[in-house]
Structure 1
Amino acid sequence: MQPTFNPPSTQVKADPLQRFLAALIDGLVTYIPFFIFTFISYRLAMLGWVFMLGYQLTKDALPEVGGFLGGQSIGKKLMNIKVIREDTGQGILGDYGTAIVRQVSLMIPIFGIIDAIMVLGDERKRFGDKWAKTIVVKA
């Protein structure tokens, strides 16, 4: 369930350490099953690859599962941060297009490093945030 309206200007931006730790947790969530599946069989490795890619692209728009997630990746949920739209202040729950746009920059090899550096700036926005017009804030 989305809040009615929460202006982004009233939100406190997530600090770079929170964002880094959330990304690290999300990386573990995706890569550990992939490596386990790869160890078991090649066919399971393909399934793991599909899961890994699907989760990484849509993790910030996933629906609530058993009272968990609801528009936050596992890492963001554990770090108590979330993605919101710049214009409305609402989360991106169910907005898979915006979630994918946010992640495209991370699929370009050198952009991942540049994005990490951009989060340290005053704006605390990486390319994906700028392209999708989103902000990462404290939940």
Structure 2
Amino acid sequence: MPRKLSKRMVPPAPEPSEPAELTTELALASDGKLYFQFEDEPPPGRPVFVGYALHAEEVMKFNAADVLAWGMLHKLALGSDGCIYVEEGVIDAEGRDVFRGFVATAEEAARAAEVLHRAAFNITVEVFARKRAASDRAQL
């Protein structure tokens, strides 16, 4: 007779499906600065980075050394959506995602790092909880 699952062993309800595309909220650029996305106008006096995303096929054909060498010649940014953005004017913008961001102050960057650290910890806890629940179900 199958064992009844206790409340502790019942997996959490599935999350609503994620949007098809992630929004690029921030990007860490090769100039060492953190940039926050803006829609209309950046805060006055803030330096701005505008970059265009490399396509997945482009990223796959380069190795890490190629990308790093390219980054020595041009500003690159890693977006929170996982895309690599190349500064405006270096590659053709046609058909590419665009990121427009203003540079974060030291205080804003420190606060963002704290939030990201907390989120990463919470994600790790959730992943391990789901792995344990899946393992418990597999043993039934």
TM band (smaller chain) = under 0.3
TM-score under structure 2 normalisation?
0.27
| Greater helix fraction, Structure 1 or Structure 2 | 1
TM-score by length of structure 1 reads 0.27
Bigger Cα Rg: 2
